[in-house]
Structure 1
Amino acid sequence: MERRSGMENNHIHEVYELANRNTFTGKKVKERGARKATIFFCGSCGRIAGYTGSLKSYRCCNAANTGLPDCQYSKRKRDVLEGSYTEIT
């Protein structure tokens, strides 16, 4: 095992201190609040329908896991679904 020079050890110590300073800031992490209940469900498997990445439509949240074609193609536009809900109430 080779020994490191004092300058190299000093550099490693500085990097270590910098990493700790950036990692342990002492700030509290915000806890995630309760999830908003949804009323939209997949017509095929009955699981919750959630937003797509663009937030423009809903689709089955379990589509990738079930492998059912109906779940994978169950995408519905957000404004149409939410508009039909507000008309009923």
Structure 2
Amino acid sequence: MGTFQNTDKQKQAYRYFVMGLTAREIAKLTELSNRTIERYISLGDWKRPTDTRSLEVKVLELVQSGKSYSEASKILGVSKTTIYNYLKRQRAKE
């Protein structure tokens, strides 16, 4: 097998991995195969950090990164209404 290269897709996949997404979710978002993502995780020895961020912060980060309310709700396992409510509260704070 060749050397393990750090491509833009791999960097993007790693960012999603650190956010807590599963290999299947990352594969869909990056348009790579599930097996490719699993290989990245294995060969790159990726470790999930302990995530102490609140759900509200995760929602904000996903939406700011360009995800729609629907995509964010699927990733986080909450309803679109929950996404909307978190963002509404965030806007009120600003």
TM-score range, shorter chain: under 0.3
- Per residue, is there more helix in 1 or in 2? 2
Calculate the TM-score normalised by the size of structure 1: 0.27
> Whose radius of gyration is greater, 1 or 2?
1
- Per residue, is there more strand in 1 or in 2? 1
Calculate the TM-score normalised by the size of structure 2: 0.26
